[in-house]
Every structure is written in C-alpha cells, then in structure tokens.
Amino acid sequence: MTKTDAKSDRRYLWNLCMFTVSFVISNLVSGIIYDVYVNYLQEVGREVAVSFWSYYGYSAFISAALLLLIPKIGYKALLLFCAATCTAAIGAILFFDNTYLYALTTLLALSGLQLHFAILSPYIAAYTKKDNKINWYSRVYYIGYSGYFLTTFLGGMVTVKFFSMRGHILYDEARKLTEYIEDMAPDIYNAYLQGNKDVLLLTGILSALAFIPVCLIKEQRSDYQMTAPKEKIALSQKISMYRRAIFNKYTMTYLIYWAMINFGMGLFTSYYTVFLNRNLHIDRATASFMVSFSYLALVLFMLFTPYIVKKIGQVNTLGGVSLLSIPFMLIIANGDKFGALMIPVVGFALFMRSGLVNLSYPVDSSLSMEIVDKQLRPIFATVINVVAGLASVVSGWFTGNILFVTQEGYRTAYYIAAVFYAVGCTLLLIGLRKFNWTLSEEKNNCLSEEELLWRNF
C-alpha cells in the first residue's frame, strides 16, 4: 500500500467518524421530535399532529430531490443543510404560534432529519468496501440510535420536570396530572405547554451543535463524483440507465416492500406515546420511559446484526426477523387487557418489536445499494425516498382523515400495520432470495493488505 493510499484510508475513516457524530446529534433531535414535539402538537396544532406522517412523506420528497445534488455539491453541503433546517424549525416553534407555521416547521424539521437518514446509505457505501460494509452500517446505526434512546428516555421525564417547575408543584404530582391532560385546569395546562417548550429550546441548541462535526468532514470531489466519461452520454442512454434502476423485478420487489413497510410504520410508530398516554392512560414520564426502553432494544439488537446475517443471510434477516415482530405489535394494541401487568407487558412488547424490526436496518441500507449497479446508487436512493414519501403521505392522510377521527383509531392502527408488515416481508423473502448471501459466503476470501486494513476499521 502506498503512502497516498494510506492517507486516503485515514481520511475515509475520519469522515465516517465525523458522519457518525453528526448522525448521533440528528438522532438526539429525532428523539425529541418524535416524542415531545408530537405530543406538543397534539395540544397546539392537532390538525398537523394527526397527519404527522404525511409531513414525513413530504420531507421524503424533498430529501429525494436533494439527493440528486450529491454529484454536484457533495455530501457535506447537504449535511450542513440538515443541521440548518432542524435548528431553524425548532427556533420558529418557540417564538411563533400559528397552525400554518406548525405545518412548515414540522416539514422543515423532518426534512433535515430525513435527509440525514437518506444520505447514510450512499455515504457509507462511498467510504467502505464490501467485506466491512455491514459492520459499518451496524456501527453507525447502533451508535446513532443510542442518541435516540437517550432523548426519548429523558424527554418525558424532563418535560414533566419543567412542567412541575413552571406550575410550582411537586414532580410526582405533575406526572400524575399528565395521565389525563384534558382534565387540567387552565393555569396548570399552560404550565404543561411551557414545560414542553423548555425542552424544545434545549433541543434547538443541541441541533446547532451538528454543524461542528459536519464542518470537520474532509471531503474531496472524488468522493461523490465519478470520473467523467470520455464520450458524452446521450439522453436516451441516460433514460435507459435510470429505467434499469427502477423497472426490474428485484428493484420493484424492494420498492413494493418498502412502500408497504412505510405505510404500516406511519400508522403507529410516531404515535407511541400518544397511544400509551391517551388510550392506556399511562402518565407522560412513564410512557416516554417505555418508548425509550424500546429504543435501547434497537441499539442492543443491532450489535448482533453481523452475526445474524452470517448465520441466516441478509434477506432472511431483513424479512424473517421483521415477521417475528408482528405478535408483539398486537400485544401493544391490547395492552389494557393485561390489567395490573399492563405496563411491564406493554413495555416488553415495545422492546421486542423495536429490537426485532431494527436489527435488520443495517441490512436494509446495504441491500438497497446492492441490487443496483454502483453508478445507479444515488438515483435508486432517490427513488426509494420518493416511494417512501408517497407511502407516508397516503398513510398520514389515512390517519388524519379516517383512522384517527376517534381515539380508538390509534389502537386499530396496530392491526392494519401488522397486515402490511406480513405481506411486505413475505414478498421480500420470496422476491429477493437471490441476494441472501451470508458474510461467510463472501467471494473475496483472499484479501489484499489494503482490504485487511479496511476490515480492521
């Protein structure tokens, strides 16, 4: 290996580490947005809250369009955009009170978070090699989602703490009052809203810190631009290339699977604490703790992703393990049937569902980049986000206009989502079985000195 190659490898490792730090911050912010912010919206902008997943869908469209800019401006500029939109959105929430503004701030915040997530797949692929990519995807995910766990764990408790301080009442009394928010006296209710805004202020400051690791990324044009062809590619050839990225049996199978999962996911994942608090009448602090406990499962289960892939293959891991999560979704929906055991049973079900589904996230990112040629990855990443956006918009429209018209709709969502998960995962297992390689089946068994260095990253 030459000195130039060694220097490049060190730069690649540095860039991966800086991206991981920025991804952690993004997930710290996400934990608040999907917990405290959604609950805050239930009080001040319910029209936006009940269609929250639609805004996730709109943000996916924005992300898809921006991903196409990677060959022009690179990853670093887009990561700076992610930090800027999140920080600006949270700042606007604190100083203005308007339903239309809540729609805009929700869209901005989710666009920044969604784009950061969407960049992950092509970014990791750009700086890793095949034999260590699953390890890096797993590493970035479980380190990043440690932040998600932390803020969902603390979000509810810190909100209640600020609420108790604003209302000049004891913490235990404040926590008890959050079991039935609709019954709060006006002055206490206002203190509760102010407690939520205090948490969002801290989140805005945290979001601004994401600029630091992104600015430290040492990006070169060769990281995101391919060598220009000697001959200019005709438009017809480009269209043909794009068509190959979308219209073949493998990519279509994946996109149908992805659409069904995103639709199902949009019915309940953003509303965990709303369901626990409003349907099961579990206080806000305990509800947030239960949800955060489920994100701890996400981190722990991902530690075993490379091992599971090695044993059963990547497609079996992605589809098969997700199927195992469905019974736990149904247990959550029927949590109030367990009486005095409701909190531990529902907490365990949340833990297992989250762990099983998210164990396969690194495989999902890796597989989606594997079923297309290298030069088609940015295009296909864009297509994936467009499909996710469409599914999310439909899901949000369905919850806002039909499913969540009554509070009981939050329970029905779990049953509908279970059906979509079952069909989508089964389709994936059948349609993409060709790609079910295991880590022990890598063709490239004889690694060069350079590749050995990458394996040790």
Mean pLDDT by 10 residues, the chain (457 residues): 68 92 94 88 86 83 86 92 94 84 92 91 82 80 84 86 94 90 90 93 94 94 67 69 74 93 90 88 83 81 86 90 94 94 95 89 80 75 84 89 91 96 95 76 41 34
Token digits for 125?
A: 């692929």
**Domain count along the chain:** 1
How many whole angstroms separate alpha carbon 324 and alpha carbon 220? 43
Residues 6 or more apart in contact with residue 438 via CB below 8 angstroms? 309, 310, 311, 312, 313, 314
Q: Is residue 85 part of a domain?
A: yes
Task: State if pTM tops 0.85.
Answer: no
Distances (CA, A) of 313 to 150, 341, 454: 31, 37, 22
Q: Is residue 189 part of a domain?
A: yes
Q: Is residue 429 part of a domain?
A: yes
Q: Is residue 451 part of a domain?
A: no
Q: Which amino acid is at 387?
A: V
User: Which residue in 95, 100, 99 sits closest to 45, CA to CA?
Assistant: 99
Q: What is the Cα gyration radius of the chain? A: 22
pLDDT score, position 452: 33
Burial class (CB in 10 A: 0-12, 13-18, 19+), 205: exposed
Token digits for 375?
A: 């030069």
User: Which residue in 264, 217, 210, 208 sits closest to 75, CA to CA?
Assistant: 217
pLDDT score, position 424: 96
Q: Is residue 177 part of a domain?
A: yes
Q: Is residue 232 part of a domain?
A: no
Q: Is residue 456 part of a domain?
A: no
Task: Identify the three-state secondary structure at position 97.
Answer: coil
Token digits for 246?
A: 């979308």
How many whole angstroms separate alpha carbon 212 and alpha carbon 85? 15
Residues 6 or more apart in contact with residue 182 via CB below 8 angstroms? none
Structural element, H or E, at residue 300: helix 284-302
Q: What is the pLDDT of residues 113-129, one digit of tens each?
A: 989 988 988 898 888 87
pLDDT score, position 226: 60
Residues 6 or more apart in contact with residue 317 via CB below 8 angstroms? 305, 308, 309, 359, 360, 363
DSSP string, 52-70: HHHHHHHHHHHHHHHHTTH
How many whole angstroms separate alpha carbon 227 and alpha carbon 141? 30
Q: Specify whether the CB–CB gap between 79 and 116 falls below 8 A.
A: yes
Domain that holds residue 216: 3-220+237-443
Distances (CA, A) of 299 to 16, 64, 296, 361: 19, 27, 5, 11
CATH of the domain at 342: 1.20.1250.20
Distances (CA, A) of 434 to 193, 430, 438: 52, 9, 11
Token digits for 204?
A: 């805005």
Q: Is residue 454 part of a domain?
A: no
pLDDT score, position 179: 84
First-to-final CA distance of the chain: 16
Task: Produce one character per residue of 431-452: b if its CB has 16 or more CB atoms within 10 Å, e if not.
Answer: bbeebbeebeeeeeeeeeeebe
